[in-house]
């Protein structure tokens, strides 16, 4: 069984379109994340959810909106896509919390290409 799965793996779309990436984890973790990895490989945190509540939203344009219907899912919606949004997006989860931090498990990544 895949621990953290995200779909689709590849996404090619035109500028201005709206798209979604789905993420699900079957590890029973409380915390889920979205990271953006640019061409220089930097893993930049975008969002973090703990028990369906937003914990952090870094300086991300409001075109990006996370949706967490339950603890096991954290989807990412992107409106009005721009060329600069092209990157690999990773979903991850962990059993987080002060004093109980554990390994973050990553999904396989979604390579988004905006043309």
Partner 1 sequence: GENVEQHPSTLSVQEGDSAVIKCTYSDSASNYFPWYKQELGKRPQLIIDIRSNVGEKKDQRIAVTLNKTAKHFSLHITETQPEDSAVYFCAAFGGSYIPTFGRGTSLIVHP
The residues in 2-21 that bind partner 1, with binding defined as CB under 8 A, are none
CB 74 within 8 A of CB 91: yes
Per CB under 8 A, the list member of 50, 68, 74, 76 interacting with partner 1 is 50
Binding of partner 1 at residue 84 (CB under 8 A)?
A: no
Q: Cα 45 to chain center, whole Å? A: 9
Burial class (CB in 10 A: 0-12, 13-18, 19+), 28: exposed
Binding of partner 1 at residue 27 (CB under 8 A)?
A: no
Per CB under 8 A, the list member of 56, 61, 63, 82 interacting with partner 1 is 56
Per CB under 8 A, the list member of 25, 31, 68, 75 interacting with partner 1 is 31
CA distance 30 to 52: 8
CB 84 within 8 A of CB 55: no
Region from 19-27, 48-56, 61-69, 73-81 binding partner 1, contact rule CB under 8 A = 48-56
Question: What is the contact surface with partner 1 in residues (CB under 8 A)?
Answer: 31, 33, 35, 40-43, 45, 48, 50, 55-56, 90, 94, 96-99, 101-104, 106-109
């Amino acid at each position: 069984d895949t621990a953290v799965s995200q779909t689709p793996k590849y996404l090619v779309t035109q500028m201005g379109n709206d798209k979604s990436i789905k993420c699900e984890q079957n590890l029973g973790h409380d915390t889920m994340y979205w990271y953006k990895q640019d061409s220089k490989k930097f893993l930049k945190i975008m969002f973090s959810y703990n028990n369906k509540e937003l914990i952090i939203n870094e300086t991300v344009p409001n075109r990006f909106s996370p949706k967490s219907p339950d603890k096991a899912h954290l989807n990412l919606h992107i409106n009005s896509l721009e060329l600069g949004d092209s990157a690999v997006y990773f979903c991850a989860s962990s059993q987080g919390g002060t004093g109980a931090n554990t390994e973050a498990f990553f999904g396989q990544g979604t390579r988004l290409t905006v043309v």
